Structures are given as structure tokens and as C-alpha cells.
Amino acid sequence: MRFFLPAALAGLLLSLAATVFAADEDGYDLWLRYRPLERAAQTTLKAQTRNIVLPGAPTPTTDAALAELQRGLKGMLGQAPATAATTVDGSLLLATPSRLPSLTAADAALRADLAALGDEGYLLRQTRVHGHKVTLVAANSDIGLLYGAFAWLRGAAIGGTAAASSAPKLQLRLLNHWDNLDRSVERGYSGQSIWDWWGLPEIKDQRYTDYARANASLGINGTVLNNVNSKPEVLTASFIAKTAAVADILRPYGIKVYLSARFSTPLELHETSTADPLAPEVQQWWKNKADEIYKAIPDFGGFLVKANSEGQPGPQDYHRTHADGANMLAAAVAPHKGIVMWRAFVYAPKGAHLADDRAKQAYEEFKPLDGKFAANVLVQVKNGAIDFQPREPFHPLFGAMPKTPLMMEFQITKEYLGYSTDMAYLGTMYEETLESDTHTGKTVAQTLSGMAGVANIGSDRNWSGSHFDQANWYAYGRLAWNPQAKARDIAAEWAALTFSPDRRVAGPIVDMMMISREAVVNYMTPLGLHHMMGTSHHHGPAPWVDNLERPDWNPVYYHRADRNGIGFNRTASGSNALEQYAPEIARQYADPRTTPEQLLLWFHHLPWDYAMPSGRTLWAELLARYDKGVADTRQLHARWVALKPLIDARRYADVEQHLTRQINNAVLWRDACVAYFQSVSGLPLPPGVQPPAHPLEYYKALRYPYAPGRG
């Protein structure tokens, strides 16, 4: 016997079913969720997408664009429109001038707009083509069409498909995976590497395609598959074949693959007698190796190199310069249009002791080499001169090497900001750095030729270890496309796509995101303090550590707290690191009264009773910042709890647990640092300031032998 339900009741049950399924999201879909729209929005969108038209022969890239449009529209509307050969009123038309020559023949404005977009840009427009009203996604290339398709879907998902055009401001927009060949991830907090080197090249996980989709939706166009602390085996024939298999999957999405190369590879593989970059046998080995790689991967991007840093081999082992080493590799890949990204993260070799300030070394080594690198070499510079700290001033090399292409290196994974446990939206940090004025006629963003982000992606179901850490991947990609974009706007976009465009949801989430990183700075390293984390694992506070082999591995080296005061003097009376900045910056920061408060102790050693703008002493202000960090973290939790009725149950519970853990982390940092600095300063706590929960020795005794991400 068959039972038939009335149409209205059937629709209600389907709606309820959809609600139930939506209530159990695991985060795998990232910002590409494509959930059903409200009825009015569906009606509007259906009228704009009666069919999808792509003139000309399909390619793997246009296939990807069409598949994404159909996936997105099916999710938002309940059904995917058909593809068609000709337009009708309400067509969604994907076209380039070569695919549809008549597209710009009679429209000078459209022709000019497209000409300004380059190879990767796109425009979205409601217009008429062949007499029909269409939604036009236009570009000069197939990859531009793919980027435009993602942009159109993004607008549709959050309630707007207005006319727009966009082109990337940076040519190179890369992820750097610190992934090892055994699938461990150095400083990774979201499971194993997504690259299953053991299974490749035969076993190709669907996750690789979804990774490509997510990156293409942001305009990321390159990925370095392996750790900068590279192994020579990655350049052997078997691993080249594995890399080629990944490249084949990523290629339709406009993503080139790159490899981190160990400088001493030919020597360690016993195929040369030296790794001296000026030795003919070494130069020939790298040329032959490049030929081998490009034969397997014709669009291989090139090499990323970490050399003469943290014990890694490099040209200085042979009394050569960084330029000597980089140019040798550049000559090998140049015939194939490849590039070399040479990292400027260097400090003295193991066992050597710096005379004054580790922050100065990269500038001292690279500034004299400006203009001496080959044309296809980019120097990749971390955002600050120490090492991805919760807050650093911008690196002095930005603006100081006008003859050398520079790449920004940001960290997306939060090595020093609470792993994937603590909420810290890094869009604000990226924006803070990119908009900094170098006083050389450019902002930091304007000095860049490319951007690299150390990926926070792993095998965890939600990709990044916590739901809110997805936002840092998203923000990095959007800022790599447009370094002038605003962190709040990006946060609003991400919140609407990832949770809901409902203002009752997106608004409070954006507010949480915008205070989150500052909360972490306050409970970890307020007022410009830095490098106070635990040894090796980089988790938790350890400002007391003073017994490591090198002075600049010890937190006491950086905060220099004693009975008289606290902070690192980088003015002319100290290490004079300020001299590496433009004179205007050096003059402003030389005086603590005109130094931004958030960088005060980065540049100055000040007495505990120094009068702060708040009217408090430095000691009281430091304590107030620690307390504010804890209070703001509690506020993050309270705001999330208030959203419970509007968030699906699974993700609500996961985030709530993370925020509870973050409160404990914040209290730990606050109490341990207050206990330590009070022991050093000998000062009493001001009235109303709570003492730490335990004596200092309790915090010193804490151990984390199995902390994740140690690599």
C-alpha cells in the first residue's frame, strides 16, 4: 500500500529534515556550505539562473567552474540549473572575449573594463547579450572565469549579486605547508598532513580536490607542499612522481605546486662532492634536477629555500652569500620560467652568540644584497623581525630593498597564539602589518610582489583544528588577493558564509573576532613584550627561562625584566635596531612618549614606575592589560553562549569547549606572568588586583612533553 502526503505537508517535512541536517555540521564544507536560501532570495536567484551558458569548448578549469556553480545553486535553490549552448532571459553566462568574440565588439566600456583585469581578474554584471537579459561572469581567461564563479556564488550566498569587478594586486599568492614526509606537521595543530605521501601517486584523496576548491575560492594560486626544514628525498624520482599527481589535481583550479628544497640535497644524496653553489658540478646537478621536475610537472612553480637558519645548510657554509645560493637555484629553473623564494628568516648558526639583538640579523645580512639577486628570486620576509609573535612591528626589510622583489610571510597556524585552541582572528594582525607606513613612500603592502601563508590545514575533519581558525585561512587568502582589504569586512563575509548571513548571528560573531586577537596579545604579551612562551613546544608562559644554549632562545633575553624595569632597549642607547627603520620611524619610536603603547616594551626598557598615558605606572598598566586579556576572553565565551539558539548544535558545542579551554589558558598566562614579574620587580600588587592562584614555583614546574605540533 502506498501513502501520499499533501504537497504542503511534504514540503514542511522536507524543510524540517533540512533543518535537522543543518543542525549537525562538522565544518568540512568551510565557507562553501551553500545552504538553502530564504524563499524570496531563492525566487530572485532562480530568475537569474534559468540555465548556465559557457560558449566554446570546455577545459578542466571551466569544468571546475561549472561544477561549482551547479553545486552551489543546487545547495541554495534545491536544484541545479542545466547547462545550455545559447542564452535566454535569465541565463548565467560565463564568457571571455576569445570564447564569445561578440561580447566586447559593441561595448567599449566592457572592453576597457576587461582589459584592466589582467589574466586572473573577473567582472560580474547584469547586462544584455544577444538581446537577452543575462548575469554575466566575464574574464580574459578560464581561471578568471573560475574566480568569478566563486565570487558570484559568494555574493549569492550572503544576499547580494551586485555588479562587481576584481583583479589580484599580487601575482603570487601561496600557502606554505610545513608538512613532513611522514605526515607529521611542524607547528601544525589540526591533525596529520593532508598529503598522504605513502599512498601517492596512486591513491588520490577527494580532500585534495576540496582543498583546491577552497583555495581557488580565495584566489590562492600556489602551494608549497613540504616543510621548509626539507629532506633531500623530496627531490628524488619517486617523490617527483607523487608531487606530479598532486599537481594534476590542483592544476584546473589555477594552483601551481612548489617544493621546499634542502640546499645540500645533491651532497646528501651522494651525487656531488660538495654543495658549494659556485661549484660547476653543483650547478649542473640542479639544472639537471630542474629539467627532470619540469618534464614531470610542466607548470611546476619553483623552490622555496630555508638556508643558514636554525641549523639548516646553506651557501654560508662555503663562505658564499645568500645571493650566491639563490641565484644558482634561480639559474636552474629560469629556462622553465620557475622562481626561487629565498627566506630571510635567519639568525646566527647554532653555537654562535649575537652581540646585541637577534632582531637585527636579517636586515644586516640581506640589505647589502639588494639588487644582487637574479630576476626570478623573491626574498621571503616574515611580517616581523623575531618570529610570528602575537604582535611585532613590521620587519625593517620592507621598504629597505627596493631593487629586490619581496614576499610577505605570514603564519596562519598559530604557533605563538594558543595553537588551534584559542580564538585569535589574525585578519587584524595581517591588516595591521600591511597598512603600516614604511616612510619610504609606500605602505608595507605596496612593497610586496607576493604573499605566503604558513598553512593551518590538516587532516582534522574541520581542516584547521577549530572552526574559527578557518577564518584565518580565509582572511589570508582574501588579503593576498587584495592587501588593502579590511579585516572587519573579511570577517563579516566569512561569518555570513560559514555560519549564517542572519545579522543576529553574523554581527555578534564579527564582534567576537575583532576583539579576539587583542585579547590574546593582552594575556600573553602586552605592551610589546614578546618571545615569552615555553621552550620547544611554544605553549604556555615561561618568562623565567634563562638556561638555554643560546641567549636569544631564552625569554629573559627579550623582556630583560629586573629590579629596575622591563623591556628591550632597541634605541641608540641600546641595540639600535631602530636604525634599520626609516628616519621618521626611528625618531618617533626613539622616545617612549611617542612610541605606540602596543610596542612600548619592544623598543624600550623602562622603570616600573614609568608614567603611562592612562595615569597608571608601567607596573599597574601591565597588570591591567593582563586582566583585560582574561576579561575579554570571558566575554568571548559569554557572547558565544548567547548565540546558542542560533547555531547548529555540533559546532556550538565544539566552539564552546574551545572557549572554555581558552579561559583557562588566559588565566594561566596571566597568573604565571604576574607571579614571575612580581618576583623580579619586588613590587606589591595594586589594590583590587587578584594575586595568582598558585606560587611561582607551581607554574615553573608545569611540563608539556606531548604538546602537538613539535615537528
* Separation of alpha carbons 422 and 406, rounded Å: 31
Is 631:689 a contact under the CB 8 Å cutoff? no
Clarify whether 364 is annotated catalytic.
no
Clarify whether 656 is annotated catalytic.
no
Neighbours of 644 (CB within 10 A): 11
Catalytic residue from among 179, 186, 415, 493:
415
640: CB partners within 8 A, 6+ apart: 512, 652, 655, 656, 659
* Separation of alpha carbons 188 and 708, rounded Å: 7
> Which residue, among 623, 629, 642, 595, has the nearest Cα to 684 in the 3D structure?
623
- Helices (H) and strands (E) counted in the chain, each on its own, are 22, 16
* Separation of alpha carbons 177 and 551, rounded Å: 29
* Separation of alpha carbons 202 and 686, rounded Å: 65
Annotate 342-366 with DSSP letters as a single string: EE----PPTT---SS-GGGHHHHHH
Is 317:279 a contact under the CB 8 Å cutoff? no
Clarify whether 310 is annotated catalytic.
yes
* Separation of alpha carbons 610 and 616, rounded Å: 8
Pure H helices in 312-469? 322-333, 361-366, 427-434
> Which residue, among 332, 443, 347, has the nearest Cα to 398 in the 3D structure?
443
Catalytic residue from among 182, 310, 489, 502:
310
Instruction: Give the three cell numbers for residue 81.
Output: 540549473
Three-state SS for 94?
Answer: strand
Could you tell me which residues are beta bridge partners of residue 452? 174, 409
Catalytic residue from among 248, 292, 387, 627:
387
427 to each of 33, 187, 514, how far by Cα in Å?
21, 19, 9
* Separation of alpha carbons 394 and 407, rounded Å: 13
Instruction: Give the three cell numbers for residue 44.
Output: 530572485
Q: How far apart, in Å, do the first and last CA atoms of the chain sit? A: 62
Catalytic machinery residues: 310, 387, 415
